[in-house]
Structure 1
Amino acid sequence: MAEERGNERNGTPNGEGRIEPIALHQEMQRSYLEYAMSVIVGRALPDARDGLKPVQRRILYAMHELGLTPDRPYRKCARVVGDVLGKYHPHGDQAVYDALVRLVQTFASRHPLLDGHGNFGSVDDDPPAAMRYTETRLAPIANEAMLDEIANDTVDFAPNFDGSQQEPTVLPAQLPFLLLNGCTGIAVGMATNIPPHNLGEVVDALIALIRKPDLTDEKLLALVPGPDFPTGGEVLLGSGVRDTYLVGRGSIPMRGVAHIEEVQPGKGRHRRSAVVITELPYQLSKAGWIEKLAEQVNDGKIGGIADIRDESDRDGMRVVVELRRDASAETVLGELQRRTALQSNFGAILLALVNGQPVQLSLRRMLEEFLAYRELTLVRRTRHALQRCEDRLEVVEGLIKALDALPQVIAMITAAADAASARASLQVHLDLSERQADAVLAMPLRRLTGLEQESLRKESEELRQERTRLRHLLEDRGSLLEAMVAEFKALRKRFATPRRTRLVEGGDDLVAQRAAAIRPNAELQRQQAYEALATDSRLVIQADGAVKVVSPQVLGRLHLDEPVDLGDHPAPGQVMVPVARQPQVLAFTADGRVALLRWEFAGQQPGLLERFLPDSLDGATVVQVMPLPEGGESGGLSLGLLSSDGRFKRLPLEEFQELSGRAATVLKLKEGVVLQRVVLCREGEDLVVGSSTGRMLRLPLQDSQVPLMGRTAQGPVLMRLLPEERVVGAACVEAGGSVLLASSGGVVKRLSLDGLRRCQRGDLGQIGVRFSRRGDTLVDLCDGAASVVGVLVGESRSGRLVPGNLDLQDPNGAGLELSLRPGEAVRRLIPLLA
């Protein structure tokens, strides 16, 4: 045996056929896709038909099998969880119990599918009691509208995880519970967040679609105007709700319900005004909201509040925000809505599984998918009922036929040697089927009474009528749809409740007012600062971070756009643009974030970059500033982001033209990696990347080499770095152009693009500059077409040169050597963007 194992290790024929070589990246792709699909289909996303995730479906079916109907006593949740784990869902018990708890919580589901007894948590985010203490059973709506038809061959069953049981692949839901209760789930690369809705409104929409399939979107939205949260609150109607229902994704503004009243703080004290909150937005923790409000009051962000009390009890929610005597109640209420989660957004994503595939659904598509499923279950239920009816009718007709020839039947039975002979004799002489003959042989003597015979004939007539009715339903779709409508109306009458969430018109205006109030007059002040500038002024940003707006006369005295030898000059300018068209200037930080520079305020108070950036970028290192091209010039343009690990990613310019006042992350970086350079890329040009060893990589700007990507991507590796080698910069160069190179030892070289061969991503490239001194390295490169390029040396010395004045050289050229002082080194090149 040991010898066989040794042979296997040595790769001898004993192991042939058992070890299959496979590329690591292929195996990783396959395994990850299998895992992703398993999470998407088997765990995180609901089915569009019954609105349930697999664990929820298994809980309901296990409880149905246990007989936990609403008229039976409660049963311990631990028993239910044990059944679900052992029979259908081989995962953690806490995961199953968490799903069960959510099905019970009246503040999480608009129509809870389970009825609980015990502590199942609260709106204060209190955890539920352990499963050994809580009890549950099916709620009436789940028993009647979800599981009532499961024994009527309405759904398919499949083997469970070990093949010992059968479980339904979907439950025969009679209502679209995906809309009624909503759903939240996070899968791999996708998520769903569906708000709950009012049963009466959804049923009305279903009936309207049955009666008129081409119902307009406007009429459909009038029937389902907005979500109906179990915790009440208000929904602000506007584009967010409309986008959610028409596209399947949108941001729905919602807010709590509050009013102002006079309260008595205590005996002997004067009455004071108070803001009383009686309803909070959906999924907002009351205790968490009170805690955050108290922090903002203590930090002085919200004024006028003397005390906060939670007076909630079993009769409802009541949070009292007591005000100071000099405070305005309306002002404080407005501050609460603007600065706290009392007004927030519900990010709706109507994503569900359709035929096993995740699909983003509009309201109409979601209702149509359910109606198609409901029609299918009705057809299957009717076929099942028809089969049972025909089977029973066959038996009854056989019994009647036997009763009509009773003496002959008795004679045949008594003459028969055994039951099989009697069955055969009955089939031959009375023309009975095998089922009928068995029924005659099993007929009790009481059937011979006149009353029983009349009862059989009456049953036969009723069965014929029922068979005719069922066949009519199967043959006439209109009748089937009318039966569906009648069932919907009965369910609406049984389970519909009044709307809890109030709908407020003009939501877009209210949201805009809140957005404007979050940053009081910031945009207005910025616009006013811009209008105060002289139209012929220029924005100047220097290499040391100084931002100023100067007149043409002052700019002329600075000579920032003229060449100058190395010396103790002011820091070279890196941006110099006219202010006439209010340019947008971006600031990129080393950690991959970008923000708009509020440079308009530099007209009155010049200062360093940090003063004109959002507060969230405090302490961040700005690696580059760049003015965006004007709107008419943005076609075919993109921004390329080069990181220190040799990765390069392109983003469409449109991603940067709609930035708000906040910083945005445009590049996800690993630990120890920083953003090195930002390059304006033009279609049809070439990208040149350089490393500290003088190695240059030239690639065409094509999607195959440097594809356009999203904000969260890292980008592909363009240049694989050698030990101790680092990326120094990149430039986008047009055909026939040049690149300006600078080494730490003071060598400046204008390298012809034609001297570099085009490479593929990940190639070694070629040496673009040869160093004559030991220890010299390439420190920077830029486009050789720049009008003026600053050379930064040491901490305070700089110079400016015109690349066009330098000789165009091939990779073997020596370049121009600057006269540096002992100990000095070139730090970087700064092309002037004008």
Structure 2
Amino acid sequence: MDDSRIIKTEYSEEMQKSFIDYAMSVIIARALPDVRDGLKPVQRRTLYDMYELGIRYDRPYRKSARIVGDTMGKYHPHGDSSIYDALVVMTQDFKRGLPLVDGHGNFGNIEGDGAAAMRYTEARLQRVTQEAFLGDLDKDVVDFVPNFDETEKEPSVLPVKIPNFLVNGSEGIAVGMATSTPPHNLGEVIDAMKACMQNDAITTGELMRYIKGPDFPTGGIVTNKDDLLQIYETGTGKIKVRGKVEFEKQKSGKINVVITEIPYPMIGMNIAKFLSDVAALVETKKTVDVTDISNQSSKEGIRIVIELRKDADAENFVNLLYKKTRLEDTFGVNMLAICDGRPEIMGLKEVLKANLDFQFQIATRKYNNLLAKELDRKEVQEGLIKACNVIDLIIEILRGSRDRNMAKACLVEGKTAGIKFKSRESRIMAEQLAFTEKQANAILEMRLYKLIGLEIEALIKEHDDTMANIYRYEDILERRDSMAQVIVNELDSYKKAYARKRRTVIENAREAVYKEKEIEETDVVFLMDRFGYAKTVDLAVYERNKEAADAESRFVFPCKNTGKICLFTSSGQLHTIKVMDIPYGRFRDKGVPIDNISNYNSEKEEIICITSQTELNLRQVVFVTAQSMVKLVNGGEFDVSKRTVAATKLGEDDSVVSVMPILERNSIVLQTKEGYFLKFPLEEIPEKKKNALGVRGMKLGVRDAVEQVYYIQNTVETFIEYKGKQISLNKLKTAKRDGKGTRIKA
């Protein structure tokens, strides 16, 4: 291989350069909209391709697959899904304040159902898109650039006549930055743009007399009106949006909470999430007011009905929805767009100013081009009018010339050599002719019927119209006020044709405050079977089924329904569970797995002890580990707010064998796997903090470990069965802690 073709470079420098190139490509050419037309490249290319294909608003729909394929092949080589997704969004009136594409077929819905495949759907341009976005493309008002393979030309920006960046908003994620701009009301934005045109020094606060705030296509209520000024000045901030709720009283006296408008961020699958969140509030007993919930939304609009009990506080329940579900949500504003070829966060005034400058720029190019065409037309018209006055001489020149070039030379330069004239006077008159090139060509191509009297009159009238257009265009180009008036007139026409009433309410709403109902404290009994299914039952129910409950349950103890359960595991963790989160019901109810209502993981740890927080507060807790580490901990240390904390510190490869809240027991007996028993008084175990390691309870052999722990009272004889033998633990010799113990053989 030729070494001269190998380029040696620093790896870090090459990576830095390559990544910056990639990042800028994503930022400029894919993810962010241009502030001038408010469109991302994929949107701009799709609309331009539809314009090129002639899929106008007043023509038949065309298959979406045709549009996508043509756009991908000519302008956007980034995959058909990205193009079709952009096309779909431009048709959805629940995502865009001003849809740009007219879709025919299934283009998805507000509840998150996706569009049908592109081979089934059809589309065409909306009228507003054709008029306000693409109308002046044929007047050379924007620059055209080569496409990706330089076989076609595409516009670098569309000549959009309205501030689309604000009207439709935008969302996009680039590399290291993202854009998120809410949609606004077309009529308000146009009024603000006109005000900005009349007063260069206008402030953001003054602009907000026209633009009250975002106008989401889903409606809703913006609740932080006072924050909007800061958001529009900086281009960043958070807008709080609530859904619109109505109350319907039924004949039975029950009240239905009806959601008729949802927050903009709830579009899509979040509606299903909202329904499941409401169901979860019922299941977890956060509310007991709901009797039924149904989604009755249709093409006519959103209608989510929540039926409440007769004595329910509907206002308080709605506040619960605001606090615990996405019925109140936040829209993060980051008005980032491409301005002058670079990404920039822009405030409201900067966006309007950029759009205004763009309007004057495209208007200047438009009327310069129109003026040039009218001047060309004027030159030709004046030549034809002049020719009509000497038509007999021109006919004589044409009849006497050998070819076109000879006749043209006579008309332009007065050259008469070689031309046969009927008289000397005709030659003299011909020598005085001085038509321009364009006029001469027009005369030579003129048809005879143009010599009819009425046609000559029409030509003169056409010339008068041309002169009027020239005076008008020159006035527009020379006087900024005249150009401004033209732009204002266009904006007014778009406002009249396409503006609609505001949907979103802007106000300063009080923060939602939910008052939880006072729960009457009662005694219940916690039951958990050997399979890990937990429940609580009324104390009286337990008393009636005490024998069966004790026999079938691994853990049984009384507690308060307002209290907490403490679950200690072999890994040294403490998991707390609110009693209210545990299913309460009948004795024969199955309950729920303890894993489902706590952070306990049955695959990684084993339950050692479960007890109530109330009991722990009154006692000391003994911890014993497999490596024979023991300690006493004050039960109050386990009164914690977190759902999971470390209950004890463990050595390497150690695990908890026993956790016991003690009150009256006098002695402890440790039993190892190899059959060693050590009995010693509980007083010898020191009290430690819960995050301490503890002290050694007994000396173990190399492969031995503590297997069982027994707590006995000196006055009550306790028997166990060990390897077929009945052993009285009370008769074991009482020794000191940290002894080896006595081995009992089979």
Secondary structure of 2:486's partner?
helix
C-alpha distance 30-275 of structure 1, shift in aligned 2 (>3 A)? same
1:158 and 2:145 correspond: yes
Structure number with greater Rg is 2
1:172 and 2:153 correspond: no
Question: What displacement does 1:325 show?
Answer: 2.5
1:482 and 2:485 correspond: yes
Deviations 1:674-697 (A, max 9, x none): xxxxxxxxxxxxxxxxxxxxxxxx
Task: Choose from 177, 182, 187 the match for 2:174.
Answer: 187
Question: What displacement does 1:132 show?
Answer: 0.7
Question: Partner of 1:125 in structure 2?
Answer: 112
Question: Partner of 1:750 in structure 2?
Answer: none
Question: What displacement does 1:315 show?
Answer: 2.0
8 Å CA contact 1:303–1:332 kept in 2: the answer is: no
Task: Choose from 275, 285, 299 the match for 2:257.
Answer: 275
Task: Choose from 461, 465, 469 the match for 2:464.
Answer: 461
Task: Choose from 429, 438, 441 the match for 1:438.
Answer: 441
Question: Partner of 1:22 in structure 2?
Answer: 9
Alignment of 1:127-526 (within 5 A): 127-263=114-250, 270-284=252-266, 285=268, 286-429=271-414, 430-504=433-507, 506-507=508-509, 510-511=510-511, 513=512
Alignment of 1:543-562 (within 5 A): none
Alpha-carbon RMSD: 2.8
Q: Distance in 1 between matches of 2:401 and 2:443?
A: 14
Question: Partner of 1:628 in structure 2?
Answer: none
Question: What displacement does 1:283 show?
Answer: 3.4
Question: What displacement does 1:17 show?
Answer: 2.7
8 Å CA contact 1:244–1:350 kept in 2: the answer is: no
Q: Distance in 2 between matches of 1:209 and 1:604?
A: 73
Q: Which runs of 5+ in 1 are unaligned?
A: 1-7, 9-14, 265-269, 521-543, 547-602, 624-791, 798-834
Deviations 1:12-38 (A, max 9, x none): xxx233111112211111111111101
C-alpha distance 283-420 of structure 1, shift in aligned 2 (>3 A)? farther
C-alpha distance 608-199 of structure 1, shift in aligned 2 (>3 A)? farther
Question: What displacement does 1:432 show?
Answer: 1.4
Question: Partner of 1:78 in structure 2?
Answer: 65
Alignment of 1:102-117 (within 5 A): 102-117=89-104
TM-score under structure 2 length normalisation: 0.67
Q: Distance in 2 between matches of 1:163 and 1:434?
A: 35
Q: Distance in 2 between matches of 1:231 and 1:329?
A: 23
C-alpha distance 611-444 of structure 1, shift in aligned 2 (>3 A)? farther
Alignment of 1:640-651 (within 5 A): none
Q: Name the aligned partner's letter for residue 235 of structure 1.
A: V
Secondary structure of 2:5's partner?
coil
Question: What displacement does 1:621 show?
Answer: 11
Question: What displacement does 1:313 show?
Answer: 2.1
Secondary structure of 1:260's partner?
strand
Question: What displacement does 1:494 show?
Answer: 1.2
Q: Distance in 2 between matches of 1:356 and 1:607?
A: 66
Q: Name the aligned partner's letter for residue 454 of structure 2.
A: L
Q: Name the aligned partner's letter for residue 297 of structure 2.
A: S
Deviations 1:96-139 (A, max 9, x none): 10010000011010000001111111111001000011111001
8 Å CA contact 2:91–2:100 kept in 1: the answer is: yes
C-alpha distance 28-619 of structure 1, shift in aligned 2 (>3 A)? farther
Secondary structure of 2:175's partner?
coil
TM-score under structure 1 length normalisation: 0.60
8 Å CA contact 2:265–2:329 kept in 1: the answer is: no
1:89 and 2:76 correspond: yes
Using the aligned pairs only, state the percent identity. 42
Q: Distance in 2 between matches of 1:441 and 1:610?
A: 106
Q: Distance in 2 between matches of 1:474 and 1:151?
A: 19
Equivalent residue pairs, number: 526
Q: Name the aligned partner's letter for residue 281 of structure 1.
A: P
8 Å CA contact 2:35–2:339 kept in 1: the answer is: yes
Q: Distance in 2 between matches of 1:149 and 1:517?
A: 59
Q: Distance in 2 between matches of 1:622 and 1:425?
A: 113
Q: Distance in 1 between matches of 2:316 and 2:229?
A: 30
Question: What displacement does 1:300 show?
Answer: 2.2
Q: Name the aligned partner's letter for residue 347 of structure 2.
A: S
Q: Distance in 1 between matches of 2:636 and 2:407?
A: 108
Question: What displacement does 1:426 show?
Answer: 1.1
C-alpha distance 464-189 of structure 1, shift in aligned 2 (>3 A)? same
Secondary structure of 1:283's partner?
helix
Question: Partner of 1:67 in structure 2?
Answer: 54
Q: Distance in 2 between matches of 1:458 and 1:63?
A: 38
Q: Distance in 2 between matches of 1:196 and 1:66?
A: 29
Secondary structure of 1:294's partner?
helix
Q: Distance in 1 between matches of 2:122 and 2:638?
A: 59
Question: Partner of 1:99 in structure 2?
Answer: 86
8 Å CA contact 2:203–2:349 kept in 1: the answer is: no
Q: Distance in 2 between matches of 1:138 and 1:116?
A: 9
